[in-house]
Structure 1
Amino acid sequence: MRKKWLVLIMLVIGLGVTSAFILHSYKNFKVQQGFVPLPLSFDPYTSVSSYDWNGNIVSIQGGFVKGKIVDSPSQESLLLRSLSPTPIISFNSGTDKSYSVRLENVNPAMIKTSDPIGNLKTIDPHTISFTVDLKANQPKTIKFELSANENPEVIMLGDNRNGYGTFSEIIDQVNSIKPAFVVDNGDLVYGGEPNRYRLFYETVSKLQVPLYTTLGNHDIRENGLPTYTELFGPAYYSFDYLQNHFIFLDSSRGWTEKTAIPPEQYRWLEADLQKAQGKRIFVVSHIPPTDPRSNVAPNTYPESQKTSTLQNLMNKLSGTSDIDHAFNDKAEAQKFEDLMTQYKVDTVSYHTFTAFSVL
């Protein structure tokens, strides 16, 4: 009898350890060994992110300073993530120093630089590393550029959520097409728990071209915004590619709140649209201003936040296809559509999978 109890106790302890491990894995996600995330610093008006690295300023235009890779107490690299096919990295040092930098979300096979840089290496299909030797008070700027294909295409994805098997096959197809870059317009994950983002991050790590993302309503569930920010950066931004201008909006709250896009983002959006005049403009968002389907049921979710059953209702509505998926405020929807018309926006993308040429 004692042996049976002992086995039972060991089984319970084993289940407890396993459960604790699963719970830890579900709630914690480390990008890679030695990675230390840095608080996001990004100005959407200039697309510049800067970091004071031990008294030396490193800036990237068309990207953000993501974190550090610490290999040892005396050896670390700064990790930058590109948010543009043409990022520009600037260094301003007060002392003679050699800097080790990693730039991710690029295509190493198609990248060109304005000046030769030391020890340029390919870390993986979308990351390069290099060193920059600086003299005191002699700033250095390096411009990166994505070489254009003969027939450059952009592939747009959306609502991949939990379909990792199918999504992985799509990634393989994308790599065979070899587009200029890929856009994912939201609902990267079903819920914002770190473990779900880990699965998405591992899946898209196979991509051999840059990936530019925006937020969907599923991505901010379960407090998912901090994880998204750590991995993919600002909620809204823009860039030019050839004669095209791409704008990435954050409309993720439009499913659960009366206002889909806050006033400060509208101010930035209009200023950005004004600067982009003369180019072919693409706006990437997730929640559409109006639902094109007929006979959809009203979305009562914003009112339901007054109740104590918020998360249960959210889970229920998230799986209901006939609920109105558009902006809750129809006046805001009209304002958004008028803005797109006023500034002659070529295409606004929501919940989509498509490919098109940018020539």
Structure 2
Amino acid sequence: MKSRGKLYILIFIIIILVLISYKIYAPFTIQDFKSVNVRNMNTIREKIKNNGYSFAVVGNIENSIAIFDNRILEKTKQNNIDFIISSGNNVRDGDESKYRVFYRTLEKLKTPFLTAVGKREITDGGSDNFYKYFGPFYYSFQIDDSYFIFLDTTENTNLNWQQQWLRNELKEAAAYQKKFVIMNKTPIKVDTEYLIDDSIKYIGDQQLRNFYQDIFAEYDIDAVFSSNLEIFHQQEIKGVDYYISGGAGGELIFDNDKSFYHYLLVNVNQ
């Protein structure tokens, strides 16, 4: 049985009720747009002290101006969060012009932003752009007594190599009170009868799903955050909470009550 001691994690669903419109524009210069994850990890470490913290979880932004820039970011300002975590699909596709558009979004932020790599980031040769502008495809960082692990589920990274890296990271994370995993595709099977290509929306290989579920339970992960599916979904498996949050700006699923614009607000107190 997992003992969380003094750990209190409150996760709220913030629903955004708006109509979507999509437009695209690109900046003329992006000299400062590089190594975003590395730079923001350092900013977060300097910002967070020993009094708890809060962060937002978003997914499937897909270059949305009307939803993410104009609505969700305004809401997060009201929540006074310390940083934002994305589980990927920040851009419509991997073309560099879409990355430049997203740079304009990041320019508006007064809050540090970290992201996992998503399926859309690497399409159209986008893997080089992601590495150039954000950094490695999988990584970890620590703040206070919390350990965050970001995984690559795009098949762009050698799976055996990443699994060994993950085992080593989880051993390091065992000494921390709070442990979170962020990955674009969820390691749980979700009923997606409304999709034609549902096999690409979550991790389709059952053996690989079992691997993640078993190892996350073994190392007492508190929460796993994913997106890729355009829904909100929460499920507990073997004591681990899994969240799918894919409503931060992209297209929704017609006539589905789990598909709506939203983000997650996570409060972690000592």
Cα distance in 1 for residues equivalent to 2:113 and 2:221: 22
Say if 1:321 and 1:203 are closer, same or farther in 2 by CA, change over 3 A: farther
194, 206, 210: which is aligned to 1:334? Answer: 210
Match of 2:162 in 1: 265
What secondary structure, in the 3-state scheme, does the structure 1 residue paired with 2:74 have?
helix
Q: Indicate conservation of the 8 Å contact 1:214/1:286, yes or no.
A: yes
Cα deviations across residues 20-69 of structure 1 (Å, max 9, x unaligned)? xxxxx99x98523xx697xxxxxxxxxxxxxxxxxxxxxxxxxx6x8xxx
Match of 1:234 in 2: 136
Cα distance in 1 for residues equivalent to 2:28 and 2:212: 36
Q: Indicate conservation of the 8 Å contact 2:33/2:103, yes or no.
A: no
Q: Which amino acid aligns with 1:281?
A: K
Cα distance in 1 for residues equivalent to 2:155 and 2:29: 26
Cα distance in 1 for residues equivalent to 2:115 and 2:33: 22
Say if 1:295 and 1:36 are closer, same or farther in 2 by CA, change over 3 A: closer
Match of 2:47 in 1: 146
Instruction: After TM superposition, list the pairs within 5 Å mapping 1:78-227 onto structure 2.
Output: 81-84=38-41, 87=42, 106=43, 145-148=46-49, 152-169=53-70, 170-227=72-129
Cα distance in 1 for residues equivalent to 2:194 and 2:218: 29
Percentage of matched positions with identical amino acids: 24
**How well do the aligned residues superpose, as a CA RMSD in angstroms?**
2.9
Deviation at 1:343, TM superposition (A): 1.0
Deviation at 1:277, TM superposition (A): 0.6
Cα distance in 2 for residues equivalent to 1:326 and 1:36: 30
Match of 2:191 in 1: 293
Deviation at 1:291, TM superposition (A): 2.6
Q: Indicate conservation of the 8 Å contact 1:249/1:285, yes or no.
A: yes
Q: Indicate conservation of the 8 Å contact 1:192/1:221, yes or no.
A: yes
Total equivalences in the alignment: 209
* Highest RCO, 1 vs 2 (Cα 8 Å, sep ≥ 6): 2
Say if 1:271 and 1:202 are closer, same or farther in 2 by CA, change over 3 A: same
TM-score (norm 1): 0.52
Q: Which amino acid aligns with 1:31?
A: I
TM-score (norm 2): 0.68
Say if 1:177 and 1:253 are closer, same or farther in 2 by CA, change over 3 A: same
Cα distance in 1 for residues equivalent to 2:33 and 2:265: 36
Deviation at 1:203, TM superposition (A): 0.9
Cα distance in 2 for residues equivalent to 1:246 and 1:177: 21
Q: Indicate conservation of the 8 Å contact 1:291/1:325, yes or no.
A: no
Q: Which amino acid aligns with 1:82?
A: R
What secondary structure, in the 3-state scheme, does the structure 1 residue paired with 2:155 have?
helix
Match of 1:348 in 2: 224
Deviation at 1:321, TM superposition (A): 6.8
What secondary structure, in the 3-state scheme, does the structure 1 residue paired with 2:46 have?
strand
Q: Which amino acid aligns with 2:30?
A: V
Match of 1:284 in 2: 182
Q: Which amino acid aligns with 1:153?
A: S
Deviation at 1:296, TM superposition (A): 6.6
Cα distance in 2 for residues equivalent to 1:271 and 1:347: 19
264, 267, 270: which is aligned to 1:357? Answer: 267
Say if 1:292 and 1:29 are closer, same or farther in 2 by CA, change over 3 A: farther
What secondary structure, in the 3-state scheme, does the structure 2 residue paired with 1:328 have?
coil
Cα distance in 1 for residues equivalent to 2:38 and 2:28: 18
Cα distance in 1 for residues equivalent to 2:29 and 2:125: 17
Q: Indicate conservation of the 8 Å contact 2:141/2:149, yes or no.
A: yes
Cα deviations across residues 254-302 of structure 1 (Å, max 9, x unaligned)? 8xxxxx86111111111010011132110000111233216476xxxxx
Gaps of 5+ in 2: 1-24, 228-244, 246-262
Cα distance in 1 for residues equivalent to 2:151 and 2:119: 12
Cα distance in 2 for residues equivalent to 1:271 and 1:197: 32
Q: Which amino acid aligns with 2:85?
A: V
